[in-house]
Structure 1
């Protein structure tokens, strides 16, 4: 019998440092809708826009739309010709870079590249020390941003709580922007209330970018625009914000957030169609303002528990609805966003893990460009908690690993590797391929425990939430990002009503 040549075992051709996951892996293998079903939904979308249209359009946007070929009917509804809708779908941007404040965090949006991040507008947060829910603050926004800044699988920071300690709408939007900018060098996103807020923050964004006009060159702040009030009505103030944001060169997250059974059809297919029509209406308006706009097709229909009418963000129906919306965005080949991970549980418990796991997984495998609300959210978007961002970062890593899939090539399906082991030592533990694939194919959790029961008991029998809390304490005690120079921060404080005390933004504050 020929003795195995041990040198022949070293067949691995992958770079040893290649990570098992990265932002923007390709999804789209899961398809809840058939091609015929997508085409039927698309036909309904076209009919909704052409024959029903949307009401309450703002005068400036109406003028742009009518000049481009839309019409306003006798009831004041703006109707979009089918040819115009299909033309805009055909010529809108298929992909673009969503810039980080630090270019190292730039991500490419579009083409079924999957990314995961935060989102939401929770009015409450579980206090880290007392364990009780309380109103959220500007300091909470900043602290969550600092956590996100250290979480590899949370690719951007869309503000996830409402700063309840601000007095005016303008103060809310300015301080939200400031807290997000200061807490992370990743791309940020803020829901701006109206055009005045958008215009107010542009000098702040320019200052952080390095000078007047610099933000437009690398826009790292996305304007979140709920430009419609479902069903099929424009939201006046948000449309004004949309127009100002596009003119300022900001990326736009075009959100339609109907609730199935309340402000959207209870039938899931109808909810998908209505959301697509509402977002396409916004996309057309954005393209009329700037044909090169960075617009994100954010179909966010939510699910109701029809027994009570309450939102059910962690339901199986929500998982299907978000996945179907992601698939329709793929049908249109548009950069997109869907919501997933919005557990109905009030704690990071088994219910939360299960609901987050299947809702995010289906959205990711359906090929969503951006999955919002995928980290930190509880109580159907009404609450959040610090340790949940750490726990969800672990979960997102595992889900993204499943998106990467099974690699099949000459190295991974290799006869010689199996023959050498079978005819040699009888195990793969010391084989060069095993060492080479250890870091390129396998992802190792930071929080989830894989020790034996006895080792776990000897280490204190701690659950995952306890371990995550240690991580929160460590990060928030020490990690105070310094990507905004002190002189720039002083100018921002001189020119804006910043609520967050400067003394709160350093390790000597004694909070953590």
Structure 2
């Protein structure tokens, strides 16, 4: 679906923000650049001022924007799930780093685990309107950072054949997982041919500072041929300006700094312009992921990315609600809709998230999949052509049967123009009552149970899995990855 019809900013406002972006990069720059990237950047024309801040000349910024990739294929593990990213084509998927998950049996929040990562991946694998799996919880049962990154990668790879994304902490983690990615791809060097794992790099610590370890991870990931999600996640009113336009400008400058570095390393890199400014509730300072301001921020960032014509990502669907309730549905609905209609290439965190990214729940993935289908249908818009605006069709019905129920156009269009939800209930009140008067959350729980009881993907051959378990400290038991394990 191609978006971009909704524009919260006027043309002159976009230009004014862009001017501030260039000023920030050229006259203020970013501090704390790593020595390796500093050497590359200075050789490409950047300069380090007396305060140690890396400044980016306007000509270099504009040159990189002009020559960077406008679109690319985001590969799935299975080519059937390949996505074309760019050109305001709208896709939606998961994201986040929730430390807690609502336990499916007890309904209470608990710490998330590697098994949860795997189970969510299996669930997402069967939900058609969720287009990729960016790990959405942090495995709290791992002991070291390296174990976290290795086991996160393994759980994502094993649970879905869609494209995956992992937030790698440092360059050691990137180098460590490359043999795993190659093994799943079919052998040494095969991953680079079809890179199906994106490295999520929060390369900045807002405002306008580089994150040292993440920059090392960025450099290693670009050299390995991985797509890079370049994330700047300032919080308006705290680590970004409270003025929404200022927050957009700062995020654009911070992400462009990362994109320039990526292009210096590899001019053909798959960089994703991920402006993720979040919102503070200024009464408390706490993040508010479901606010109207968040919807505007994400939509404005998508519009700026369209101005630059860059493959991009924005966050939406990060409800402040702790339950899959009315607040959750409302906040997810308007934040995702505005981002989609603004033409965001990738809408991250659009499924499953609660508590301003601090929690998740299994049934919300199923509920949000239904919601995403409806939102994407609105992005598709109204088709106007000779068949849809047809005098003969209306005349035949008016002078004939008097209704369109049996008309050939109706049969054709019911398959192409209409989306039928799996969970949302359209029956009459009496039919709903006779069927048990169940609400959407109950239906979603049934769908989750049915998928997770039976769907254990087997795209990684047993021999390869044994190879991975011999080479890495995999903590997810193999028996946990087979049907009939007693968990679901």
TM-score band by shorter chain is over 0.9
* Residue equivalent to 2:426: 450
Deviation of the 1:508 alpha carbon? 1.9
In the alignment, does 2:31 pair up with 1:55?
yes
Deviation of the 1:81 alpha carbon? 0.2
* Residue equivalent to 1:207: 183
CA distance in 2, matches of 1:509, 1:194: 35
* Residue equivalent to 2:201: 225
Moved over 6 A (4+): none
* Residue equivalent to 2:359: 383
Match of 1:429 among 396, 402, 405: 405
Deviation of the 1:150 alpha carbon? 0.2
Match of 2:306 among 321, 330, 335: 330
Match of 1:179 among 140, 143, 155: 155
* Residue equivalent to 2:3: 27
Deviation of the 1:329 alpha carbon? 0.1
CA distance in 1, matches of 2:415, 2:160: 27
Give the unaligned 5+ runs of structure 2: none
CA distance in 2, matches of 1:354, 1:455: 26
CA distance in 1, matches of 2:415, 2:395: 23
CA distance in 1, matches of 2:47, 2:418: 56
Match of 2:192 among 206, 216, 224: 216
Deviation of the 1:181 alpha carbon? 0.2
CA distance in 2, matches of 1:321, 1:436: 39
* Residue equivalent to 1:20: none
* Residue equivalent to 1:151: 127
CA distance in 2, matches of 1:298, 1:197: 21
* Residue equivalent to 1:279: 255
Aligned to 2:484, the other structure's residue is in SS state helix
Aligned to 1:337, the other structure's residue is in SS state strand
Match of 1:459 among 406, 421, 435: 435
Aligned to 1:33, the other structure's residue is in SS state coil
Match of 2:320 among 344, 348, 359: 344
Aligned to 2:313, the other structure's residue is in SS state strand
Aligned to 2:59, the other structure's residue is in SS state helix
Larger RCO: 1 or 2 (CA < 8 Å, sep 6+): 1
CA distance in 2, matches of 1:442, 1:26: 17
CA distance in 1, matches of 2:122, 2:441: 19
Aligned to 2:452, the other structure's residue is in SS state helix
CA distance in 2, matches of 1:319, 1:145: 27
Match of 2:337 among 361, 377, 384: 361
Match of 2:453 among 477, 483, 494: 477
* Residue equivalent to 2:484: 508
CA distance in 1, matches of 2:47, 2:82: 40
Match of 2:234 among 258, 266, 269: 258
CA distance in 1, matches of 2:475, 2:51: 45
TM-score normalised over the length of structure 2: 1.00
In the alignment, does 2:81 pair up with 1:119?
no
Match of 2:377 among 398, 401, 417: 401
Q: Write the deviation string for residues 338-385 of structure 1: whole angstroms up to 9, x where unpaired.
A: 000000000000000000000000000000000000000000000000
In the alignment, does 2:36 pair up with 1:69?
no
CA distance in 2, matches of 1:375, 1:198: 26
* Residue equivalent to 1:22: none
CA distance in 2, matches of 1:347, 1:462: 17
CA distance in 1, matches of 2:414, 2:50: 66
CA distance in 1, matches of 2:111, 2:373: 30
CA distance in 1, matches of 2:451, 2:247: 41
Q: Write the deviation string for residues 47-72 of structure 1: whole angstroms up to 9, x where unpaired.
A: 00000000000000000000011000
**Aligned-residue CA RMSD (Å):** 0.2
Deviation of the 1:147 alpha carbon? 0.3
CA distance in 1, matches of 2:414, 2:258: 46
CA distance in 2, matches of 1:145, 1:313: 23
* Residue equivalent to 1:296: 272
In the alignment, does 2:85 pair up with 1:131?
no
CA distance in 2, matches of 1:389, 1:438: 26
In the alignment, does 2:216 pair up with 1:240?
yes
Match of 2:297 among 310, 317, 321: 321
In the alignment, does 2:160 pair up with 1:190?
no
Aligned to 1:275, the other structure's residue is in SS state helix
CA distance in 2, matches of 1:409, 1:482: 44
CA distance in 2, matches of 1:316, 1:449: 27
Aligned to 2:413, the other structure's residue is in SS state helix
CA distance in 1, matches of 2:203, 2:121: 26
CA distance in 1, matches of 2:414, 2:462: 43
CA distance in 2, matches of 1:251, 1:436: 40
Give the unaligned 5+ runs of structure 1: 1-24
Task: Tell me the number of residue pairs that the alignment of Structure 1 and Structure 2 aligns.
Answer: 488
CA distance in 1, matches of 2:119, 2:437: 28
CA distance in 2, matches of 1:106, 1:67: 36
CA distance in 2, matches of 1:318, 1:436: 39
Q: Write the deviation string for residues 316-349 of structure 1: whole angstroms up to 9, x where unpaired.
A: 0000000000000000000000000000000000
In the alignment, does 2:483 pair up with 1:495?
no
TM-score normalised over the length of structure 1: 0.95
